[in-house]
Amino acid sequence: MLQSQLKINLPSWMPRFAFAPQGQAPRGDVLVCVFQRGAMDGLNALVPVGDSNYYRNRSKLAIAQPKTGDSKSAIALDNFFGLHPALKGLKPIWDAGQLAPIHACGSPDPTRSHFDAMQYMEAGAPGNKSLGTGWLGRHLMTLNNGNTSPLRAVGMGTMLPSSLRGSVSATVMKSIVDFHLKGNAAQAATIQQTLMAMYAAPENGDALLKQSATEIEATVKLLSKVNVASYSPANGAKYPSGDFGTGMMQVAQLIKAEVGLEVACIDIGGWDTHINQGGAEGQMARLLTELGDTLGAFHADLGDKMKSVLVVTMSEFGRRVEENGSGGTDHGHANAMFLLGGGVVGRKVHGAWPGLAKENLDNGDLALTTDYRDVLSEIISKRLSNAKIAEIFPNYTPKPRGVVL
């Protein structure tokens, strides 16, 4: 790709400005991006129970067609698709009209390398390894909505997700509970106060350092209001234990606390199921349970607030249609995405189904009919009030797909 076509007319980083009053709500939805690292088997998550070729290719791993009273069969969504039974946590969301699955979707780049595919997907530029910024980073960079909260963008984890790379500094935290100085509270407060005085002192001439210290103070202060340690989810929601469940619960806490959160990124890994993937039960079913129960809890916990929250799931690519000899599946191409929230066109499985007959496959894999950038562009322009799609997804003209309102 020619670099000149990709130049975005912004410096590689932009100074952030003094904080506006905290606590203001963002203009659009809060976007929560869930990345399923390792390549989820979309065919077993969002099951084409109406496609006989699915069953022909998956004699061991296939999920049975929906059957009343059989908890190991697919959960019917429409006449053609069903959810893996382990995704039962998503069914109430579907019933509420706030779930919009999209099938045969993903990045058009043909790579079957996790590394490359993730990089392309998060850059928002399939085939381009040199961009250096991510699609969410560019979204935040180009949306000047006056939100200067240090928690405008949060990556739950230890490293900044590539999608958030860009000019607006995102806050990375493994847990909102850990974002403070070590030691007992009284001592930490004294130390922090002393540090703030040192960072404000005239001998500190570095604006970036000053600003980072101010952000720490503001973030610690913001988080102190959230009462991170004791939180009881609403509406009887129960988050599964583990990093993903805890992380999503903390995202919900931040949303409810109205600390200015606009974008949160979180990972759930372990999807590279080459061996012993399992069918209705087993390895992948356990992961889907964690995913579905967490999203279900998140949805219940936020209640009415889901009107202005949008969760999107993605994975670097899908898996081979035909199961392999080790009870698993190898790297494939197109996959399924899930959108959750009040702003989605719900109760509908989106995306054209290319079929699983041999002649319809892409090198043995599910063919791609919806570019993931179409989905994300629509979310950004319709739900996040940002029209700068050309800068967010360079060299791409997205097609309207009607996945959000």
Partner 1 sequence: MTQIVETSLKKLTRRDMLKISLAATALAGCSRLRDSTRIVQGNSPATIPTALILPAISNNSGAATADNLTADPLSWLAVNRLTFGPRTGDVARVQTMGVDAFIDEQLGLDDSADKSNPVLNERLAKLDVPKASPAEIRAKYDAKRGEVFQQMQTAAILRAVYSQRQLYELIVDFWSNHFNIYIAKGNGFVLKPTDDREVIRKHALGKFRDLLGASAHSPAMLFYLDNQANRKGKPDENYARELLELHTLGVDGGYSEKDVVELARALTGWSISGIDSDQPGEFQFRAQQHDDSEKNVMGVKLPAKGGLKDVETILDMLADHPNTMKYICGKIAKRFISDSPPASVVQKGVAAWGASKGDLKAVFGAILHSDEFKQSAGQKLKRPFEFIAGACRSLGADVNVGRLMLEYFRQMGQPLFFWQPPNGYPDVKGAWFESSSLLARWNFGLQLANGSLPGNTVDITKLMPTGVGRISDDLIDSLSLRLLGSPLPAATKATLKPFANDKQVNILTALLLASPLYQVRG
Interacting span for partner 1 (CB under 8 A) from 74-82, 165-173, 227-235, 244-252: 165-173
Burial class (CB in 10 A: 0-12, 13-18, 19+), 17: exposed
Is 184 a residue that touches partner 1 (CB under 8 A)? no
Of the candidate spans 176-184, 285-293, 299-307, 341-349, the one that interacts with partner 1 by CB under 8 A turns out to be: 176-184
- The answer to whether 229 contacts partner 1 (rule: CB under 8 A) is no
Binding mask 105-134 for partner 1 (x = CB under 8 A): --------xxxx--x---------xx-x--
The residue among 203 and 359 lying less far from partner 1, judged by its C-beta, is 203
Residue linked to tokens 């975005």:
8
Query: Minimum distance from CB of 207 to partner 1 (Å)?
Result: 10
Mode of pairing for the β-strands spanning 263-269 and 153-156: parallel
- 377: how many CB neighbours lie within 10 A of its CB? 24
Shortest separation between residue 330's beta carbon and partner 1, angstroms: 14
Assess 142 for contact with partner 1 (CB under 8 A). Answer: no
Residue 8 vs residues 12, 139, 394: alpha-carbon distances, Å: 9, 12, 9
Give the span between the Cα atoms of 69 and 395, in whole angstroms: 50
Residue 308 Cβ vs partner 1, minimum distance, rounded to whole Å? 26
278 binds partner 1 (CB under 8 A): no
Contact between 162 and partner 1 per CB under 8 A: yes
Among 213, 345, 367, 390, binds partner 1 (CB under 8 A): 213
| 72 binding partner 1? (CB under 8 A) | no
Q: How far is the CB of 194 from partner 1 (least distance, A)?
A: 6
Among 2, 18, 186, 229, binds partner 1 (CB under 8 A): 2
User: Residue 368: which residues within 8 A CB-CB, separation 6 or more?
Assistant: 104, 105, 106, 107, 108, 333, 334, 354, 362
Candidates 29, 51, 109, 215: give the one binding partner 1 (CB under 8 A).
215
Torsional sign, CA 161, 266, 172, 341: positive
Which residues make up the interface to partner 1 (CB under 8 A)? 2-3, 12-13, 15, 113-116, 119, 129-130, 132, 150, 158-160, 162, 169-173, 179-183, 187, 191, 194-195, 197-199, 201-206, 208-210, 212-213, 215-216, 219
